[in-house]
Amino acid sequence: MKITIQHLTKRFGATTAVNDFSAEIQSGELIALLGPSGCGKSTMLNMISGILPVTEGKIFFDEEDVTDLSPEKRGIGLVFQNYALYPHMTVLENIAFPLEIKKVKRAEREAKAKEMAKLVHVDMLLDRKPKQLSGGQQQRVAIARALIKNPRVLLLDEPLSNLDARLRIEMREEIRRIQTETKVTTIFVTHDQEEAMSISDHIVLMKDGFLQQVAQPQQLYDEPVNCFVADFLGNPPINKTHGVIQNGQLVLDGGCCVTLDKAAICKEGQKVTLSMRAEAITVDENEKNAKGIIEETYVMGKEVLAYVLLGDYKVRAYIPAEKEFTKGQKVNIGLKKRGVFLFDDETGERLA
């Protein structure tokens, strides 16, 4: 089912948690709703689920306007951050609860619940209480409970944040598997860019209640629309430097001169941000875009991470392990086409 969000706004008194948000989510996709803490992701999700009323704007499920529909009428499945499994019910009763409310006969709903339990691999734990389950198992039960009504959308609010690192990777693959098997349109809230990159079909990136960009993970990484998107994605973080366009060249703070084709489209004297991914920087190879000074090198297995001084800025670059550099050595810095971006300093908008 397709979800269309039009000019959605949510205000809590003076704070605007979600601001004029419009997006389209295609049927059957797994969408990551990504952004830093407090940017309005949960608010967004709660408006889609119907738990929170909207201040302005509309939400459509396919062609149906669901803006004023209460949660139980929307046909959604919701997984809470801390699962919210009913502590007094067994796993089976928890999973079957939505059907119990719908007055489905006992035998029928238990059969369906067992089927769901099998899908999420908790079919051997049916008689346990939530307290007797590990975090990952509780998570699976919560997903089964959300899926038993055959929801049109599955909504998950930071489903992995309560799990330890190993389990987090396992569970995100499980969520992907379950989503692929059921083909249910899924929105997955997270503040972890790696998590979002690894499992989603599309990422919806937001900041301070504003939509930043909707794109496929790789596209978001390769073609960020603004400085924030470029900053938010990638590990190690992107190298960010500031400078001014002079004589068609970019002069970084501290006087380092960078030759860039991309600088041609900028106005003379414009203040810009040059952001470079670590893997887009080469040291002492064919291209010569700038001169830098080796500050420090760290051997990290097959690669060497080098800190290079470019004007006032210290940037990270990966260099092949066989090359040897000494501290203070002057080197030629090359910049690849991919992974190097120019942004307007004031607006943060992408220039090239």
Partner 1 sequence: MSTQERKKSAFSLTVMRIKAEPFLYLAPFALGILVFTLYPIINVFLMSFKENFNYITKEFSGWGLGNYQYILKDPYFIQAFKNTFFYVFIVIPISTCLSVVIATLLNQKIKFSGLFQTAYFLPMVTSTIAVGLAWKFMFNYRSGVINYLLNCFGFESLNWLQVTTYNFPALCIYGIWAILPFTIILLLSGLQNIDPMYYTAAKVDGAGPIKSFFRITIPLLMPTIFLVLIINTISTFKVFNELFPLFNGPGVSNNLFTVVYYIYYQFRVKMPSKYGYAAAAAVVLFLVIFVFTMIQRWIEKKTKD
Ligand X SMILES: Nc1ncnc2c1ncn2[C@@H]1O[C@H](COP(=O)(O)OP(=O)(O)O)[C@@H](O)[C@H]1O
The contact set with Mg ion (CB under 5 A) reads 42
Do residues 249 and 263 lie in contact, with contact meaning Cβ atoms separated by under 8 Å?
Answer: yes
* Total site size for ligand X, rule CB under 6 A: 11
Integer Cα distance of 282 and 340 in angstroms: 12
Report the candidate in 59, 242, 55, 257 with the shortest Cα–Cα distance to residue 153.
Answer: 59
Residue 71 makes contact with partner 1 by CB under 8 A? yes
**Part in contact with partner 1 (CB under 8 A); list of ranges 76-84, 214-222, 270-278, 315-323:** 76-84
Residues between 194 and 253 that touch partner 1 (CB under 8 A): none
Smallest separation, CB 43 to Mg ion (Å)? 8
Residue by residue, DSSP assigns 217-240 as: HHHHHHS-SBHHHHHHS-SSPPEE
Nearest to partner 1 of 81, 198 (CB atom):
81
Residue 13 makes contact with partner 1 by CB under 8 A? no
Nearest to partner 1 of 51, 305 (CB atom):
51
Site string for partner 1, 110-149 (x = CB under 8 A): -----------------------------------x---x
- Find the binder of ligand X among 41, 109, 140, 152 (CB under 6 A): 41
- Find the binder of ligand X among 21, 31, 42, 226 (CB under 6 A): 42
The separation between CA 299 and the C-alpha centre of its own chain, rounded to angstroms, equals 30
DSSP H helices in the chain = 41-49, 71-74, 91-101, 106-119, 135-147, 165-182, 193-199, 217-222, 227-232
**Part in contact with partner 1 (CB under 8 A); list of ranges 72-80, 214-222, 296-304, 341-349:** 72-80
Residue 324 CB-density burial (10 A; 0-12 exposed, 13-18 middle, 19+ buried): exposed
Residue 53 makes contact with ligand X by CB under 6 A? no
Do residues 110 and 97 lie in contact, with contact meaning Cβ atoms separated by under 8 Å?
Answer: no
Nearest to ligand X of 45, 117 (CB atom):
45
Strand runs labelled E in 174-329: 185-190, 202-207, 210-215, 239-246, 249-252, 257-258, 271-276, 281-283, 290-300, 303-310, 313-320
Residue 108 makes contact with partner 1 by CB under 8 A? no
Q: Which does 43 bind (CB under 5 to 8 A by kind): ligand X, partner 1, Mg ion, none?
A: ligand X
Nearest to ligand X of 110, 157 (CB atom):
157
Site string for ligand X, 19-38 (x = CB under 6 A): ----------------x-xx
Report the candidate in 49, 41, 40 with the shortest Cα–Cα distance to residue 16.
Answer: 40
Residue entry with tokens 């951050």: 81
Do residues 188 and 158 lie in contact, with contact meaning Cβ atoms separated by under 8 Å?
Answer: no
The DSSP secondary-structure symbol of 279 reads: G
Q: What is the widest separation between alpha-carbon atoms in the chain?
A: 79
**Part in contact with partner 1 (CB under 8 A); list of ranges 14-22, 33-41, 92-100, 330-338:** 92-100
Residue 193 makes contact with ligand X by CB under 6 A? no
Quote the tokens at residue 262.
């991309």
Residues with Cβ within 8 Å of residue 89, at least 6 apart in sequence: 97, 129, 130
Residues between 304 and 333 that touch partner 1 (CB under 8 A): none
Site string for partner 1, 34-63 (x = CB under 8 A): ---------------x-x------------
Residue 339 makes contact with ligand X by CB under 6 A? no
Q: Which residues bind partner 1 (CB under 8 A)?
A: 49, 51, 70-72, 76, 78, 80, 82, 84, 86-88, 97-98, 100-102, 145, 149
